[in-house]
Amino acid sequence: MNYSYLSYIKLENTAEQPVYLQLRDAFRELIANGILQSDVKVPSSRVLSEYFGVHRQTVVSAMQELLSEGWLLSKDRKGLFVNNNLPEIKPRSYGKKIKVYPDTAAFSFHKTIHPTIGRKSFLFGFDDGYPDIRIAPCLAFSKAYSQILAENARRNTLAKVASGAGNLLLRDELAKMMRTYRGLSITSENLLLTHGSQMSIFLVASKLLKYGDNVVVTKPSYLTANNCFTSLGANLLTVGVDNSGMIIDEVETICRKKKVKCIYVTSHHHHPTTVTLSVERRMKLLQLAEQYSFAIIEDDYDYDYHYENKPLLPIASNDKHGNVVYVGSFSKILSHAFRLGYVIAPKNFIEEIATYRRLIDRQGDQILEEAVGILFRNNVVKNHVRKAVNIYRERRNAAYQLLNDELSDYLQCDLPEGGLAFWTHFDPAISLQRLSERCALKGLFFPDGRTYTYDKSKMNACRMGFASMNTKELTKAVEILKTEIGRN
């Protein structure tokens, strides 16, 4: 028999890909290119193992893959043959070929109320307060992924069907972390994993709100959360914010007049202004929640970043009666590219949202959740946060210095005690929208200040994230900003 085509196959023991997969791929290619034609008999595993000097099982594994993919057929006691009905199936066409895909749908659909303004992709800029993915523990991450995807581990982790609440390893690790560092006396049964805070807020709000329910938010606020509430038919009632955070007396005034279903609060660092809700107001809010039976959605989006004093524990850590639903995320710890967040709440509420989430997402991302669970178990997350806090403290200080040295005639901001952004007020003569457009032309992202309130009341302020840029980039960013402000 002529086996000369075997000379095309080069196997390398040192390559990253296992030898049996190299052999499988080589055979696939020979068949796909017509070098090995339909109905041709493939040499036996003994012949191939001798020819390539590899273990017979290596050949058997490669052949099994080719059989299961349909490239080869097994004929009783005759051996393996190239399939004459190859897996590269050409679908049968019907109707007239469509050259241009339709731009618009021919059916009616609901539009999202107040869509948030999309952002173009920029290499650097004053974002909303994102971390720097360049310092994320990506090597440890890829090791954890390899560990999970390694063949003999697959059955242990990946074959399991998770509950709607998500991966148990990560839930256990997170619960431990919450007990140790955030004063929350919880177990994994109080915890549900999601694809980020935004999904958490949506799930929670969907189960809390009915059409026409009142939700209290601040003004200004995190509009994407507000949009979520209004898209569910809720009615937004607003209260102010001062240096001690959300003004809780205004919440009380509302509660006296109207039935409030829930309150959305960014307690640790108010979004967008970055201020921390004071202890007195936290206690008052809890007391009102009990008195008027409303839920508090506490969105603690960047709890880990505090640079001066000890941070205040979450409001949820003082929740004796089960009024608080605590929402958190890994977007500010690692990057929003890793879609991972969580909800913490009384067990019966978690069970309900775990059931409900299955309508849109069966079980979350098991591999990502297991990988982050491994990072927790190996203290990678803890060490990363420690390192990141030091780096971002330096960047905060450098950015503050630069803004004050170069731009104090045009803007005013306080040094935030925590978080990843400055809340910055600009001279009313400066149009943030024009400035944003000009900076974009220079490759710098600069927010246009339109994403914090619905109305047109002019705050002329914006969040200026400092953490995703190193000192060199911050210097360059401030230089561009200064030039463009000068032209405003």
Ligand X SMILES: Cc1ncc(COP(=O)(O)O)c(C=O)c1O
Contacts to ligand X by CB under 6 A: 128, 196-198, 222, 266, 271, 299, 301, 329, 331, 336, 341
Q: How many CB atoms lie within 10 A of CB 184?
A: 22
On the CB side of 413, how many CA atoms lie within 13 Å of its CA? Answer: 31
Burial of 457 (0-12, 13-18, 19+ CB in 10 A): exposed
CB of 49 to ligand X, least distance (A): 51
Between β-strands 295-299 and 262-265, what pairing exists: parallel, antiparallel or unpaired? parallel
CB of 272 to ligand X, least distance (A): 8
Which residue lies nearer to ligand X by CB, 45 or 266? 266
CB of 273 to ligand X, least distance (A): 11
CB of 196 to ligand X, least distance (A): 3
CB of 337 to ligand X, least distance (A): 9
Structure-token pair, residue 172: 């256990």
Which residue lies nearer to ligand X by CB, 131 or 373? 131
Say how far apart CA 249 and CA 255 lie, in whole Å.
Answer: 10
CB of 299 to ligand X, least distance (A): 5
Which residue lies nearer to ligand X by CB, 273 or 331? 331
95 dihedral zone (left: phi>0; alpha: psi -120 to 50; beta): left
Say how far apart CA 265 and CA 277 lie, in whole Å.
Answer: 9
CB of 330 to ligand X, least distance (A): 7
Which residue lies nearer to ligand X by CB, 341 or 449? 341
Give the CB-nearest residue to ligand X.
196
Of 371, 399, 315, 331, nearest to 149 by C-alpha is 371
CB of 152 to ligand X, least distance (A): 33
CB of 354 to ligand X, least distance (A): 18
Say how far apart CA 486 and CA 427 lie, in whole Å.
Answer: 12
CB of 194 to ligand X, least distance (A): 8
Would you list the DSSP string of 371-428?
HHHHHHHTTHHHHHHHHHHHHHHHHHHHHHHHHHHHHTTTEEE---SBSSEEEEEE-T
Say how far apart CA 162 and CA 159 lie, in whole Å.
Answer: 9
Which residue lies nearer to ligand X by CB, 299 or 484? 299
218 by DSSP, 3-state: which? strand
Which residue lies nearer to ligand X by CB, 222 or 292? 222
Q: Which residue has the tokens 């193992």?
A: 49
3-state secondary structure 176-204: HHHHHHCCCCCCHHHEEEECCHHHHHHHH
Give me the amino acid identity at 325. V
CA angle 294, 311, 307 (to 5 degrees): 135
Q: How many CB atoms lie within 10 A of CB 11?
A: 16
Which residue lies nearer to ligand X by CB, 61 or 329? 329
- Please tell me what DSSP assigns to residue 467: T
Which residue lies nearer to ligand X by CB, 299 or 319? 299
Which residue lies nearer to ligand X by CB, 59 or 343? 343
Which residues face 329 on adjacent strands? 341
Give residues with Cβ within 8 angstroms of 156, minimum separation 6. Answer: none
CB of 199 to ligand X, least distance (A): 7
Which residue lies nearer to ligand X by CB, 338 or 410? 338
Which residue lies nearer to ligand X by CB, 213 or 298? 298
Of 232, 317, 312, 226, nearest to 265 by C-alpha is 226
Q: Are 461 and 433 in contact (CB under 8 A)?
A: no
